[in-house]
Chains A and B, each alone.
Chain A
Amino acid sequence: MPEPLLTLSGVHTHIGQYHILQGVDLVVPRGELSVLLGRNGAGKTTTLRTIMGLWKASAGSITFDGQDITKLATPDIARLGIAYVPESMAVFSDLTVRENLHLAARNGPMDQARVDWIFGFFPALKKFWNYPAGNLSGGQKQMVAIARAIVEPRKLLLVDEPTKGLAPSIVQSLIAAFRELKELETTILLVEQNFNFVRSLGDTVSVMDDGRVAHAGSMAALAGDDELQQRLLGLSLASHQ
């Protein structure tokens, strides 16, 4: 198994009076696509936001690339090479597609070769390059959000439910995009509820329930073990199949 790029050890997160994460242990191996599954409210989004420092861990530790990032501010975490695609996509609707990507290119002007590479995934972005992102459809906004995360090389992508509410044709494009990123050995932590979307993509899988990781293992093992699927799906995912 590759060495871990990201490790969460006993992470607890409180939001106001609510104790959301209750001791999350999670390992994301370098160069692999890890999937985080779980029902609504299991703590998946909170886990990503805690990694990004948008909510602070109240206990436990988060280590990224050998460095403890538990107490770091969000911009410092991002600058270590972590890109975040939130569930809401959070494209800047007042800005054009170009301006959205321009902001994400922290290290200077956008590399045109890389932008062309992104256009290969998402031709719609080329077509609507100078349109306000707020005018795009949901699927096109998701393309902008993912393009923003990969406009410069990053060590780790955190992607929260990218297929939510999208048409099947767009989902197929996303599968292709993630497969290509995987081949480039980009490390990805992908939160999903749609098991069918991730079963062919994931290398490892963790299943969350009630603020904890209830299962962790290889995706191949989960995909090939009906009993394990049934037990985990019965535990957490039955309503999402």
Chain B
Amino acid sequence: MSASLPLASTDTPLPAAKRDIAPLLLIPVLALLMLPLVGSFPTWVTLTVAGLAMGMMIFIMASGLTLVFGLMDVLNFGHGAFVSVGAFAATLVLLPMRGWLEADSLLLNLGVLGLAVTLAMVVTALLGWAFERIIIMPVYGQHLKQILITMGGMIVAEQLINVIWGAETIPLPLPTSLRGAIFLGDAAIEKYRLLAVVVGLVVFAVLFLTLNRTKIGLLIRAGVENRDMVESLGYRIRRLFVAVFAAGSALAGLGGVMWGLYKETLSAAMGSETIVMIFIVIIIGGLGSVGGCFIGALLMALVANYAGFLAPKFALVSNIALMIAVLMWRPAGLYSKSRG
């Protein structure tokens, strides 16, 4: 191979690589702006950590949906079903092993929680795989049908939960070691919320590293942008679709367990109750963007928490108000993805 050729022009100036950090700055800016309004520093710390914890749980539930939409162009209104199923599947471990949950041992508590989460994620991944094969596959590219059939799927899933577990609300107590709060000065921070922050950060880190440091991640990001071209390079993107759908469902299952423990009760309707919130988050973040979803979830939860403290009536509409404000600033969401 020789290269004795006229050289292509390199004179064309290249725009500097863009690092769009404005959305990222929204979180600290919002938190700092709220400090004088809240007045008390310990209260502000408590509110902020509670908001971050809630945001992390919403992010875990929503991250799968934004990936599924970005890569597969599927509007899965049934995503909430995986949240409910995950939480209820976890009760198959948590309730029979209540003794371990109530033991005064962090190791036993986390062990049983780990088992429950693993079961929930396996069950929801399998359910996601079946859901994609049976419900989604016939309606690829048909958004209206996707909305109708996935909403139908969620209703069926909820009714099946009622058949299997009964229609009554199931209490889900927190493990003993995760009850109560720790104090930083006068600021009380619930232990479970700290765990939620840690789990959320781990999920974000795993997703971030997978998407940015592995070939599978490159394929997912490329597939979000142009599916035809990924196939033209010789990759079977259909298999990737199924894997991402199953992984997204498993994340929803994990989020369901976290959310159920946060609320300390389970009902079959918890999925349909969270789906609106999840959709708002992925719209704010920019459809298909995991980073945008992360920031969107944290923003939404922080705004809701601060509003609940400062202006409780406004808290009822804070999610919608935030979405409108973000879309007026960036109509495609905080981090939009081009689509091929």
Contacts and interface: CB of A to CB of B under 8 A. Distances in A.
Say whether A and B bind each other.
yes
Contact of A94 (B1, B215, B232, B337): B337
A17 to B, nearest CB: 16
A99 interface: yes
B222 interface: yes
Contact of A132 (B9, B17, B218, B219): B17
A106 B10 CA distance: 28
Interface string A111-147: 0011011011111100110011011110110010000
A3 to B, nearest CB: 25
Nearest to B236: A75
Nearest to B223: A92
B206 interface: no
A74 B232 contact: yes
A230 interface: no
A131 B17 contact: yes
Contacts of A216: none
A120 B3 contact: yes
Nearest to A172: B6
Contacts of B14: 127-128, 131, 135-137, 140
Contacts of A1: none
B235 A90 contact: no
Contact of A123 (B8, B215, B222): B8
B38 to A, nearest CB: 38
B1 A117 contact: yes
B185 interface: no
A173 B228 contact: no
Contacts of A121: 3, 5, 8
Main SS class of interface, A: helix
B3 to A, nearest CB: 2
Contact of B218 (A103, A173, A184): A103
Contact of B6 (A78, A119, A137, A176): A176
Contacts of B232: 52, 54, 74, 78, 84, 86, 90
Contacts of A52: 232
Interface in B322-340: 337-338, 340
A94 B12 CA distance: 20
A125 to B, nearest CB: 9
A4 B110 CA distance: 66
B interface, by DSSP: helix, strand, loop or mixed?
loop
B190 interface: no
- Chain B CB within 10 A, most for which of A74, A120, A173, A180: A74
Contacts of B215: 102-103
Nearest to B229: A90
A143 B232 CA distance: 17
A95 interface: yes
Nearest to A79: B234
B231 interface: yes
Contacts of B225: 92-94
Interface in B220-263: 221-222, 224-226, 228-237
B313 interface: no
Contacts of B228: 54, 74, 86, 90
Interface centre among B6, B222, B229 (most CB of A within 10 A): B229
Interface string A208-225: 000000000000000000
Given A135-B16, A137-B14, A172-B6, 15 more contacts: A52-B232, A54-B228, A73-B231, A75-B237, A94-B337, A117-B3, A135-B17, A136-B14, A139-B9, A140-B12, A143-B8, A173-B7, A176-B6, A177-B5, A184-B1
Interface of A: 52, 54, 73-75, 78-79, 84, 86, 90, 92-95, 99, 102-104, 106, 113-114, 116-117, 119-124, 127-128, 131-132, 134-137, 139-140, 143, 148, 167, 169-170, 172-173, 176-177, 180, 184
10 contacts: A73-B231, A90-B228, A92-B226, A95-B221, A103-B230, A122-B8, A128-B14, A132-B18, A134-B338, A135-B18
3 smallest beta-carbon distances between A and B, as pairs: A120-B3, A173-B8, A78-B234
